[in-house]
Amino acid sequence: MERLGVGAVGLGWLRAAPGIGAAAMMVVLAIRPLRHHVGVSLFSAVALFGAATIVLGATRSYVVAFAALIVLAAADALSVFIRVTLVPLSAPPKTRGRVLAVENVFIGASNELGAFESGVTGQWLGPGPAVVLGGFATLVVAATWSRLFPALRHTNHFPAPAED
């Protein structure tokens, strides 16, 4: 990759970096489970993901890009862990299946729309600026949702599972 001055082996390590970051976060959560400040942790993880994305898009350093990929994947793993734990525990038992089905449809659709948007933005702006813009958009979403959903932000711990 010309921008980072690496060959196939370097690109292979960049491809592995997100897996390393996500696996490291899962090990951390296995050793030290998240018990408090769930809402703040969720929004912080999303914001960290956005900040690391900005660093990734702006850097021309291979080492910085590698570290940014590890950090953004770890932050993403944490936010996904919180969401996939919080949603079913918060949903009433009678509607849990429907809530999870709707959530999966929206997540699947957002991934596809995001891939389309990234391709179009990358074509218009170039890869680096498109990645930086995506990181800034993530920061805006984290800040906006944190303000729009204060109850989520103030969630201190995961709820106990509801009885059927």
2-44, pLDDT tens digit by residue?
788 888 998 999 999 999 999 999 999 999 999 999 999 999 9
Q: Tens digits of per-residue pLDDT, 80-130?
A: 999 999 988 888 888 989 999 998 898 888 888 888 989 999 999 999 999
CA distance 144 to 150: 10
Instruction: Pick the closest to residue 56 from 28, 32, 76 (CA basis).
Output: 76
User: Which two tokens mark 109?
Assistant: 């659709």
Distances in whole angstroms, Cα of residue 107 to Cα of each of 5, 62, 95, 111, 164: 35, 31, 18, 6, 26
Global pTM reads: 0.90
First to last CA, the chain: 54
